[in-house]
């Protein structure tokens, strides 16, 4: 798998910049100097005085108002007992997924859609296959499944090649179902979004599959049965 910039900055707890004037443009300039090519999607004041929230794709960082320090981690409102970072991250994930677009995903639609679910999948993953073997159950619950590829073995692996072949098939939905059953799919090459999916999944912190992302941007790490998932999504929408 390629070493994407998102992986490199995941482990950062603090970066040092030259002190600058406290405003979003100055902070953006400070970031450009240390992380060239990385353009924040937004820079806004955080709930904590002296810190700004910096959203880059599906990631969230905090930068001191003097532009000198950058932090990554959860901001907790102790009094309200609320994780302020996670709610912000959820919105960033949804925005990033929308940028990918449904045209760059393999979508299984129910007759009547009540909810949608993004699924980062590995064709050869056991629980991914189990989830897909029950696709009719998810559809009957009114859950639209939107697949993105996350071959865990990385670029060039057999799972990666299968993902590309599925995408390049004449009927992607049918090809994906065949591949999930362990059936052979014709090897094909074409322009595909598999690298884009891998990058996004990595930035979101995917370590295993399936990784489920709800329509509100919350992550469910692993297989969830259709009936249970329908209840989770219904509660999330309340």
Catalytically annotated residues: 122, 125, 128, 152
Q: How far is CA 186 from the centre of its chain?
A: 28
CA dist., res. 198 & res. 200, Å (int): 6
Using alpha carbons, list the distances in angstroms from residue 231 to 1, 70, 142. Answer: 36, 38, 11
Take residue 7 and report the two structure tokens written for it. 């992986």
Please list the helix, strand and coil fractions of the chain in percent, rounded to the nearest 5, in that order. 40, 20, 40
Using alpha carbons, list the distances in angstroms from residue 45 to 20, 49, 65. Answer: 16, 8, 9
Q: Are 163 and 120 in contact (CB under 8 A)?
A: no
CA dist., res. 172 & res. 176, Å (int): 6
Rg value, the chain, Cα? 20
Q: Are 117 and 215 in contact (CB under 8 A)?
A: yes
Reduce the DSSP state of residue 136 to 3 states and report it: helix
CA dist., res. 80 & res. 42, Å (int): 25
């Amino acid at each position: 798998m390629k070493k994407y910039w998102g992986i490199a900055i995941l482990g950062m707890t603090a970066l040092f910049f030259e002190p600058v004037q406290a405003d979003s443009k100055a902070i953006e300039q400070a970031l450009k100097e240390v992380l060239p090519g990385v353009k924040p999607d937004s820079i806004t004041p955080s709930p904590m005085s002296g810190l700004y929230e910096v959203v880059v794709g599906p990631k969230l960082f905090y930068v001191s108002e003097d532009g000198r320090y950058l932090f990554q981690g959860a901001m907790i409102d102790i009094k309200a007992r609320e994780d302020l970072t996670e709610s912000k991250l959820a919105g960033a994930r949804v925005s990033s997924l929308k940028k990918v677009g449904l045209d760059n995903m393999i979508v299984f639609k129910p007759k009547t859609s009540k909810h949608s679910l993004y699924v980062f999948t590995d064709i050869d993953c056991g629980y991914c296959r189990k989830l897909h073997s029950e696709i009719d159950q998810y559809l009957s619950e009114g859950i639209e499944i939107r697949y993105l590829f996350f071959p865990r073995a990385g670029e060039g692996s057999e799972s990666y090649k299968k993902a590309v072949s599925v995408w390049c098939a004449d009927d992607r939905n049918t090809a994906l179902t065949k591949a999930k059953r362990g059936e052979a799919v014709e090897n094909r090459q074409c322009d595909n979004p598999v690298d884009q999916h891998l990058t996004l999944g990595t930035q979101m912190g995917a370590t295993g599959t399936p990784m489920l992302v709800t329509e509100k941007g919350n992550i469910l790490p692993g297989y969830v049965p259709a009936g249970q998932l329908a209840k989770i999504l219904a509660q999330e929408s309340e």
